Structure 1
């Protein structure tokens, strides 16, 4: 390992986030980046390019702000009791440091760190997370079976479609559906919580956000002029009663977006863990929102 000087720690952290292509593990007991946007913007960019992010924070009475901050970036926080370690790594690089993801720490505190230099060191760090942190993640804990099962009920046989929905990634199922019903040239990339869709000449995102009450959020890019027109003209096209519609303003280099938020919460925090019935229902809903966005944009041009 190589020692990182105090003034270099924030930039080395950004390097780890920005260079991530497949995985990113963030272990920071406390998070508050309200006054430091470079790190949060880098994390959102990593999420949007399909990096699978595991974000561990401390679970205690002071964790509400940390949870809210992580969720605001579209990432599911993983609360761990008694967490004090701080470390950050992707598939090829990593650092150990005293730094929490706090604006006060990044801008003002005297920190220290060490940069991993070999694949063996990275593998050792990964084993540490798998052995001492991940087992306490509620998402990874095995379900506890009742000690005295009441009966050995035989589950009903699954239909062919149910088996396909259970065995395939939701993104693949959605891609097939959209190719058949919306745009045969559509493409989808992403992970179990965040999908990026290219269809109908536009870019869309379909995300599950929220920790205790996960919600489906569908967004499509608008021009600034289209976003200005959205409040008074959107009702003509966006008619699904199961969703609330609004404009999400981008600013500072980000696009404005039409946003549809499903009113009812989902049963799980990832697409693949949703029930068959939920997956079945979401397919036409997502397709309709994509089509409505395209129609709204076309109507504006006319």
Structure 2
């Protein structure tokens, strides 16, 4: 591995972004980059070139600022518990560093870093990501559409939920709505507001669960890409928790999903259902 001088670390990371042609994976437990305009420009350029970008950040109640920044920037991220390592990867090479992606680290901290020089060194980092971060870069950044998959995206959703929950779930598509029963709870998903096309998902809450979440909002899970809200049934209807996708879609109805958005739809619905099922068990 090649040593990177402290004064060159941030520029080397930005060069890595410039040289990314297939993906960029940025593992930084803490993120604070809203004032780091040069880095923001590099990240924007990735989007303009349609290069997939994902951050991996520390899953910690005290790390809400990192989640909020990435949400504001519309950048995908994967939370991981106990994360402390810093690693920056594209399809060609990787950089291992002591530096978080914090503007304060750029201007105030003494850091060190190494860059891979051989394929063996690079593959060791790829193996680390797969084993410890549960990210296989060979498949994680692929965005298969319906034709490539050869199956309906709802079949994939069914398989994902059934495998994760450990028992069969029930899916029913009717009049623009997808109903899901996990035996623990009922959920409904649909595309809301034809002008902006947002995915909306709801799940039922008991009065006790609803009261607990209203009393302490910190109990609400963070679900990637979804904004959560509680709706009081006022004892005439079910209390519910709602998730709304933080971006507009080309998809107008779930029956005719845009092939390029089926992975996002399936992932968002599965993440919501699994998170709320787990939440209900914990309350």
Band of TM-score, shorter chain:
0.5 to 0.7
Equivalent positions of 1:44-55 (< 5 A) are: 44-55=44-55
Q: Rate the CA distance shift 1:107–1:135 in 2: closer, same or farther, 3 A.
A: same
> Where does 1:149-228 land on structure 2 (aligned, <5 Å)?
210-212=225-227, 213-217=244-248
In the alignment, what sits opposite 1:74? 74
SS at 1:95's partner residue? Answer: strand
2:22 and 2:90 in contact (8 A); partners too = yes
Question: Any stretches of 5+ residues in structure 2 without a counterpart?
Answer: 142-159, 174-223, 228-243, 270-283
User: Is 1:36 aligned to residue 56 of structure 2?
Assistant: no
1:119-165 CA-to-partner distances (Å, cap 9, x unmatched) read 221111111011101269xx99x644555659xx7x889xxxxxxxx
Counterparts in 2 of 1:42 and 1:111: CA distance versus 1, 3 Å:
same
Q: Tell me how far 1:93 sits from its aligned partner.
A: 2.1
Q: For the structure 1 residues 122 and 215, does the alpha-carbon distance in structure 2 shift closer, same or farther, using more than 3 Å as the test?
A: same
**1:53 CA drift (Å):** 1.6
Distance 2:102 2:75 in 1: 17
User: 1:149, 1:218 → 2: CA distance?
Assistant: 29
Give distance in 1, aligned partners of 2:14 and 2:135: 27
What do you get for the CA RMSD once the two structures are aligned? 3.4
8 Å Cα contact 2:226/2:246 also seen in 1:
no
CA contact (8 A) 1:44 1:74 kept: no
Aligned position for 1:126: 126
| 1:123 to 1:8, Cα distance in 2 relative to 1, 3 A | same
Counterpart in the other structure of 1:112: 112
CA contact 1:44–1:73 (8 Å) conserved in 2: no
Q: CA deviation at 1:47?
A: 2.1
Counterparts in 2 of 1:40 and 1:92: CA distance versus 1, 3 Å: same
Distance 2:32 2:131 in 1: 27
1:156/1:109 Cα in 2 relative to 1: closer, same or farther (>3 Å)?
Answer: closer
Give matches, 1:78-97, under 5 Å: 78-97=78-97
Which consecutive residues of structure 1, in runs of 5 or more, have no partner in the other structure? 158-208, 220-241, 243-265, 279-302
Instruction: State the Cα deviation string for residues 44-96 of structure 1 (Å, max 9, x = none).
Output: 21122111122100010122111122223321111111000000010112210
Q: Is the 8 A contact 1:95 1:114 kept in 2?
A: yes
Q: Which residue of 1 aligns with 2:57?
A: 57
Query: How many residues matched?
Result: 171
Residues 241-299 of structure 1, C-alpha deviation per residue, up to 9 Å, x if partnerless? x9xxxxxxxxxxxxxxxxxxxxxxx9xxx542426xx9xxxxxxxxxxxxxxxxxxxxx
Deviation (angstroms), 1:101: 0.6
* Partner Cα separation in structure 2 for residue 145 and residue 110 of structure 1: 43
Change (3 A) 1:107 1:156: closer
Partner of 1:9: 9
